[in-house]
Amino acid sequence: MASKPSSVTNVSNQNYQSQPSIEDRMAIVVKRVGEVNGMVVKSPLYWESIDFLAKDEISRGIFYALPDGCKLHYLKRKTKASNLKEEEPFYGQSHSYDW
């Protein structure tokens, strides 16, 4: 059985180690969506945008490349979600979240 040359193994290991984890990539998505000018956090648009960009690498790349003034419009067009704050439903117990 032939073994891989050590240079190939080293390159493969370096490429693997330089890739951010899925958690790191999704943390960037959440951060970038929250930084969009005019984005209302806790709105349907906010949540839909995170889901949309997390699932679609091409759209995520387009979003990152767009000028800041176009990002909100792009997300509105792609998700068709409302940018109005969504109130948490009340189920009998009072919780105070400082989001």
Question: 14-37: b or e for each residue (b if 16 or more CB lie within 10 Å)?
Answer: eeeeeeeeeeeeeeebeebbeebe
**What is the value of pTM for the model shown?**
0.71
Per the document, the length of the chain is 99
Nearest-angstrom CA–CA distance, 58 and 9: 29
Structure letter (DSSP) for residue 36:
S
Give pLDDT tens digits for 43-92: 999 999 999 999 999 999 999 999 999 999 999 999 999 999 988 776 76
20-49: average pLDDT? 96
Nearest-angstrom CA–CA distance, 89 and 39: 21
Helices (H) and strands (E) in the chain, counts: 5, 0
Nearest-angstrom CA–CA distance, 53 and 24: 14
